[in-house]
Amino acid sequence: MFGIVRQKISAGGSPLLAFGQRIRPAVSAWRGYSSAAKEITVREALNTALDEEMSADPKVFLMGEEVGEYQGAYKISKGLLDKYGPERVLDTPITEAGFTGIGVGAAYHGLKPVIEFMTFNFSMQISYAKIIFVWDFRWVLLKLLLVALQFWLLMQAIDHIINSAAKSNYMSSGQISVPIVFRGPNGAAAGVGAQHSHCYASWYASCPGLKVLAPYSSEDARGLLKAAIRDPDPVVFLENELLYGEAFPVSAEVLDSSFCVPIGKAKIEREGKDVTITAFSKMVGYALKAAEILAKEGISAEVINLRSIRPLDRDTINASVRKTNRLVTVEEGFPQHGVGAEICASVVEESFGYLDAPVERIAGADVPMPYAANLERLAVPQVEDIVRAAKRACYRSVPMAAAA
């Protein structure tokens, strides 16, 4: 990677600069739906998007733990090391704060890093030294010094994302662009406990200067990742581990190398007239299943795939609510200060007079994620939770307050 930086900041005859002049469209013409031609998995969609963007622009490079020799912890980077070499697919030590800072510095110099976290929980990484157990008193002082040194050296990866990447453009009066993508799995997987199951959508979406994307389908993953890599600003790209292996139908248009999904535009996955359901990432699939169940009971639900958490497509959300007069928000994260809370505030501010029922919010339980499988299921929203909320909004069931 340092070889790439040296090329970038050296004399103007650099091949990096010569090839980097290629101009590509920021986004392709957007369509709400794509006619299905074949099926590809989310993993394949992300892999091909990375491959095509690295092929089109030599300034794009990938960096993270096990992205090279191991071909990615989730095989997203499969084949990229063989094709582009170790200067553009860089394996790093287990120090998220270190390679996140290196990536931001490279972006300052005009490169386009894609930083992969094994999980976004590791974007909060401080130091593994904090778990050292001291049994021998003679080593207490040395152990404490090691802890202090590692805390000072590593700090947090989120410091580079928030204080360096997100704020530099504003603090430099627009003179510094930071074209960097932070990507990896976000939210709950299965049986990985509280420290590996956190949803960071609302955390990062609260920070000006960042763009935050959360794909659901293969079309989302492919189109949004391309848009993120081409964007001049830092983008947090929140994937879902449980979606990597899911296959979705895509059209020939989606498979075209110029395809791109515009940042800040939601997608209406299913049209309806009785209640609006907003969701992102894995919860979109749950919302669609809930809509099928509701349809059998005479309730027509409109399902909105947010795609973009920041900027949020408030226009599409409010237009839908003004049509259906009811709203259910769905997310995996904690309820307090969540994405659903922001959507509710937007609807109350812009479409309050159109509401015929109180807004319903479905979110994860307000507790750290349990490890036990039965408790984990109770802590994450399920299809039946969405169905009950939609029925309450449509006055088809006893309200929660009355039942209590």
Residues designated as active site = 96, 196
CA–CA gap between residue 161 and residue 376 (Å, rounded): 30
Q: How many residues does the chain have?
A: 404
The upper half-sphere exposure of residue 35, i.e. CA atoms within 13 Å in the direction of its Cβ, equals: 1
Q: Compute the chain's Rg from CA coordinates.
A: 22
For residue 236, report the phi and psi dihedrals to the nearest 5 degrees.
-95, 120
CA–CA gap between residue 301 and residue 200 (Å, rounded): 27
Q: Are 65 and 91 in contact (CB under 8 A)?
A: yes
CA–CA gap between residue 241 and residue 257 (Å, rounded): 25
* Three-state SS at 225: helix
Residue 35 CB neighbour total at 10 angstroms = 11
CA–CA gap between residue 332 and residue 197 (Å, rounded): 10
